[in-house]
Amino acid sequence: MVQARMEETLQRLLPALDIVPQRLHRAMRYAVLGGGKRVRPLLAFAAGELTRADPARIEIVAAAVEMIHAYSLVHDDMPCMDNDVLRRGKPTCHVEFDEATALLVGDALQPLAFQIIADHTIADDALTRIEMMRILAAASGSRGMAGGQAIDLASVGKTLSLPELEFMHIHKTGALIRAAVAMGARCGEVPEARQLDRLEHYAKTVGLAFQVVDDVLDSDGSTATLGKTAGKDAVQEKPTYVSILGLARARALAEELRAEAHAALASFGAEAVRLRELADFIVLRKF
Ligand code: GRG
């Protein structure tokens, strides 16, 4: 099972608790281990399965993406951003430790993600390995996740059009999801450009679907089930798919995106079964 394997991999790749500075390492492990759906690792494994990649390679790529994701959640929860106290059913990192430590957790997890990629043979040739680092760096930076977060922070209390909302989410949430698929696929036999295009389309579509469902769950789910504070978007006056479309149309959009994701995989055979299952999971999940 991917989740159990990821837990073991992340345990191994994170600095041990007895290494100085112990408190920072404890906080890094707190932020990464023992929680989360591991959707990005699941996507990396599913894409790697499509290209017959060695799971020992995929787990490294998946761990790198998950470290970037975990850092983004730690920073997002801080008082200067979303100011939340609950994440993955536990107190957020800055609540459990302190703000300076939470900041440092992000500062340290980001380079660790790139270090583990550099330390392991995740593809046959050096150029593909560099390309994978470039994909992760671009997905994380100001024209990817961090840029999407900047737009998100700037849009509080504003009305966004649907294309503007989509632009924000393609960056904030979608970029890292696309990177997980793109990197997972590159761990194996190099896919043809046409196959990569189809995978990219799939990843873009499930990335958006993920966010639409996240908005639906925030509006419709409970804090206990989600493990994070429900109903926050409305309280914080954040534009969401639910605030723009209403709950029923947001749900319908998620279904349309699920169908589009399946269509993007139509030319693949049984090797894409996990990617199809994940498109279903992302749309049908309740947490
Ligand atoms: C701080 C640079 C920086 C970026 C933060 C990801 C993000 C950008 C903010 C998180 C805020 C948020 C609720 C985004 C909506 C979608 C999302 C990424 C949810 C959290 O991801 P999950 O559901 O979390 O995969 P788990 O805990 O399952 O890993």
Q: How far apart are CA 45 and CA 50, in angstroms?
A: 9
Q: How far apart are CA 25 and CA 35, in angstroms?
A: 17
Query: Model confidence at 237, in pLDDT bands (50, 70, 90)?
Result: confident
Q: Which pLDDT value is given to residue 199?
A: 97
Residues 255 and 283: beta-carbon distance below 8 Å:
yes
Q: How far apart are CA 74 and CA 32, in angstroms?
A: 9
**C-alpha R_g of the chain:** 18
Q: What is the largest CA-CA distance in the chain?
A: 52
Closest ligand 1 atom to the C-alpha of 75?
Answer: 1
Q: How far apart are CA 109 and CA 39, in angstroms?
A: 18
> How far does the chain reach from its first CA to its final CA, in angstroms?
19
* Residue to mutate (ligand 1; options 73, 136, 208, 228; most atoms within 8 A of CB): 73
Q: How far apart are CA 58 and CA 52, in angstroms?
A: 10
User: Which DSSP string corresponds to 47-84?
Assistant: HHHHTT--HHHHHHHHHHHHHHHHHHHHHHTSTTTT--
Closest ligand 1 atom to the C-alpha of 106?
Answer: 1
Residues 106 and 70: beta-carbon distance below 8 Å:
no
Residue ID of nearest Cα to ligand 1 atom 2 = 146
Which of 195, 269, 54 is closest to 62 using CA atoms? 54
For residue 173, how far is its CA from the centre of ligand 1 (angstroms)?
Answer: 7
Pocket of ligand 1 (CB under 6 A): 36-37, 39, 72-73, 75-76, 88, 145-146, 149, 172-173, 211, 214
For residue 124, how far is its CA from the centre of ligand 1 (angstroms)?
Answer: 32
For residue 76, how far is its CA from the centre of ligand 1 (angstroms)?
Answer: 8
For residue 208, how far is its CA from the centre of ligand 1 (angstroms)?
Answer: 13
Tens-place pLDDT, residues 73-132:
999 999 999 999 999 999 999 999 999 999 999 999 999 999 999 999 999 999 999 999
Closest ligand 1 atom to the C-alpha of 82?
Answer: 11
Domain ranges (residues) in the chain: 2-284
Q: How far apart are CA 234 and CA 270, in angstroms?
A: 42
For the cut 90, the answer to whether the pLDDT of residue 268 exceeds it is yes
Closest ligand 1 atom to the C-alpha of 37?
Answer: 28
Residue ID of nearest Cα to ligand 1 atom 13 = 214
Tens-place pLDDT, residues 120-178:
999 999 999 999 999 999 999 999 999 999 999 999 888 899 999 999 999 999 999 99
Q: How far apart are CA 171 and CA 141, in angstroms?
A: 9
Q: How far apart are CA 250 and CA 241, in angstroms?
A: 6
Q: How far apart are CA 141 and CA 148, in angstroms?
A: 9
Domain 2-284 has CATH 3.40.50.720: no
Q: How far apart are CA 193 and CA 44, in angstroms?
A: 18
For the cut 80, the answer to whether the pLDDT of residue 234 exceeds it is no
Residue ID of nearest Cα to ligand 1 atom 3 = 72
For residue 226, how far is its CA from the centre of ligand 1 (angstroms)?
Answer: 12
